[in-house]
Amino acid sequence: MGIIISGIAIAFIINTMLTYGNVIKTNLSNDSWLNFWGSYSSGIFAVVVGYLAIIYSNRNSEKVIMQQDKLLIHQQNIKKLDEYNDCLKNNLALLNIVDVMGITVGLDHQNISLSKSEICQMKGRIYATDLRYRYVFEVDVQHQKTNLEKTYEECWIKARIGLSDLLDQELSFIERVNQNRYDIQIKENNMHRKNILLELGKQAVDIEKRKLFLQEIKDVNMELERLDKKIFHTMMMLIR
């Protein structure tokens, strides 16, 4: 717009100088002046048309960019809602009673390590699922939560804590089973040791050596008694 105003002002000043006061002396004919003013006016018109074309192009570009931004925001919102729905599905899948019972009730006593690995994997799934759910629910999807969503979140927290506690109990059970098996093995080793000491005591001729064997047998008997109590206590806890 400044270019247009400047062009008109310059033309007005030149015309005034030529018409009044004879400030600028020239021998140009009227035809030459008409050609000059025609060219000058055409240049001004071309500038005006070019300026308007640029404005029109910029406005169209702004409209296209705004439409693309709206489309991108719409697509992002759809993606966030899809992620939100996936989180809810993952929560339900994690709390599938069949899978949970398959791990807890279907505990493989012949392969405790495998059962322990499955429980640890499920505890890892609880953490990963809850972490993703919290991010999507509280950060990614920005909208006012409905009462139903708030109720769902409360139920999910209770269910997550309950499942985690159940798996912790199963891990504790497995640890007790492992400890019980270890104690039984130690008991068997001590019984074998006791039998060897009894045979050595019978064969010993020297009285002092026989006393040493008897003392070792006494110590082994005390250890066996301690192991029996421990094994019995563990068995009582396992069958509760």
pLDDT in tens, 46-57: 777 777 778 777
Q: Is 102 inside any structural domain?
A: no
Q: How confident is the model at residue 14 (pLDDT cuts 50, 70, 90)?
A: low
Token output for 82: 């899809």
- Supply φ then ψ for residue 69, to 5 degrees: -65, -45
Q: Is 2 inside any structural domain?
A: yes
Q: 199 with 193: CB under 8 angstroms?
A: no
What is the CA 235 to chain-centroid distance, rounded? 42
What whole-number distance in Å separates Cα of residue 222 and Cα of residue 198? 15
Q: Is 50 inside any structural domain?
A: yes
Element at 123 (helix H, strand E)? helix 112-135
Mean pLDDT of 101-129: 72
Domain tally, the chain:
1
Residues recorded for the chain = 240
Q: Is 35 inside any structural domain?
A: yes
Does the predicted TM-score (pTM) go above 0.75?
A: no
Q: Which residues contact 80 (CB under 8 A, 6 or more apart)?
A: 136, 140, 141
State the residue range of the domain holding 63.
1-75
Q: Is 56 inside any structural domain?
A: yes
Tell me which amino acid residue 139 is: V
Q: Is 68 inside any structural domain?
A: yes
Q: Is 59 inside any structural domain?
A: yes
pLDDT in tens, 162-171: 888 888 888 8
